[in-house]
Amino acid sequence: MRPSSSPSDGLLGGLSGVPDVDAELTDRSLLRAMLDAEAALARAAAEYGVLPASAAEAIAAHCRAERYDPVSLGRAADATGNPVVPLVRELTAAVPEHARAWVHVGATSQDILDTALVLVTVRATEPLLRHLDIAADAAARLADTHRRTVLVARTLGQQAAPTTFGLKAAGWLVGLVEARARLVSARALLPAQLGGAVGTLAALGPAGLAVSDRYAERLGLATSPLPWHTRRQPLIDLAAALGGLLAATGKAAVDVGLLAQTEVGEVTEGGAGRGGSSALPQKRNPVDSVLVTAAARRGTGLVATLFATAVQEHERAAGAWHAEWEPLLDLLHVAGGAAARSARMLSGLQVRPERMRANLDETGGLVLAEAVAARLAPLLGRGAAHDLVSRAASRPPLRAALLADPEIRAHLSEQEIDEALDPHGWLGSADRFVERALAAHRGTRS
């Protein structure tokens, strides 16, 4: 299992995580969640007469994480394959004698650890979602502010046609909004786990189903139609949602990194003192872009691992279940860091409209060739118009070539050519798309 310290501690962990999310991913936090599950189980069982109420309260009173050492529990787990067995042993020794027979009643180790990992996920995603909301708010401001800020769109690595920076930011925004919705949905459906040794709850007798439902209710978790020991859909839905979040944040980060390249220079990351180089005094690297991109690259392997472990045999898996634990915690760790760094990156982003316009104009109007062809198409047909403009585009600057071409001048005046070469006139539905993105964002706040 993880060391007791936060995943953000150490030389590398702080580069991929964020303290408020990682605080919920420590060994101590997982231990607390395991004990919360044991306490909820005892109290739920007592409500239905499975054990005495006095025993349940004695057990719950000793379900306090500070009473136990996660390091020693981790070492003892090597003998049993999971940390629940040594924890139950220590909890049983700690409670009064009259309660000892009732510790962990009706449960198996997987019930407690699965439920604990769900609790950890729910707790860790609270601050994660706050960071994601800040990132979305920042993307919304960029989209709204720069609705009419033109820049050149790039397709297949090449300049293509005009767009707006507002529309680019709106794309980031919609990605974040959709990622948030998927994560909230997957999180809400994460169920408690209680099935006993083989998923029948036989040890709880006739009260088994009622105890199971009350156990989930006490923990504030969803119920499942039946135990999900080897039906891992809840976790792969969560993994997919976290992977989608990393894809959305990674998309924005990659774009920012490309726009911040020296030769492009259309944006820069904010933050005094950030981005320095150990070798080159002049450099200001887009650090948040780099780290969010790294998180997105790393996340794909973690998502793949959780999907690979989802095919499990019979009633309890041998190894596949065990392979889930650390990748899940790692995925929450990198997703939290990506959300927080995206919030900082987008909130502090410095936009350079003058540089955007200069880059758009760099090819001498070639990025408006489509607009000129569209003016000619109703007169000549689409194919002929395309060929005429393509011929002119081979002799840049485009305006001069268009004015010098007698076939084109036979159909377009100088004024019409200039109108076609105005990038603000070839933005299509960009502004309306921005408004749709902002409306979707506002819907998450209602």
| Side chain identity at residue 9, one-letter code | D
Cα dihedral 284, 289, 295, 301 in deg (nearest 10): -110
Catalytic residue among 32, 316, 344, 352: 316
Going by C-beta distance under 8 Å and a sequence separation of 6 or more, which residues neighbour residue 272?
A: none
CA dist 82 and 122 (Å) reads 22
What are the Cα distances from residue 1, in Å, to 16, 71, 82, 88, 184? Answer: 19, 9, 9, 17, 27
Chain centroid to CA 218: 28
* Distance separating the N- and C-terminal Cα atoms of the chain: 40
| Catalytic residue (one of 5, 277, 390, 429) | 277
- Could you identify the residue written with the tokens 């979602």? 129
- Closest of 395, 355, 378, 340 to residue 14, by C-alpha: 340
Contacts of 6 (CB under 8 A, 6+ apart): 13, 17, 19, 22, 23, 25, 26
Q: CA–CA separation, 125 vs 102, rounded Å?
A: 33
Mark whether 277 is an active-site residue. Answer: yes
Tokens 């119920």 locate to: 223
HEC secondary structure over 334-382: HHHHHHHHHHHHHHCCEECHHHHHHHHHCCCCHHHHHHHHHHHHHHHCH
Instruction: Residue 293: name the closest of 272, 276, 269, 273 by CA.
Output: 269
Tokens of 89: 């042993």
- Token duo for residue 420: 């076609």
Q: What are phi and psi of 6, to 5 degrees?
A: -65, 145
Distance CA 336, CA 127 (A): 8
Q: How far apart are CA 215 and CA 105, in angstroms?
A: 12
316 is an active site residue: yes
Catalytic residue list: 277, 316
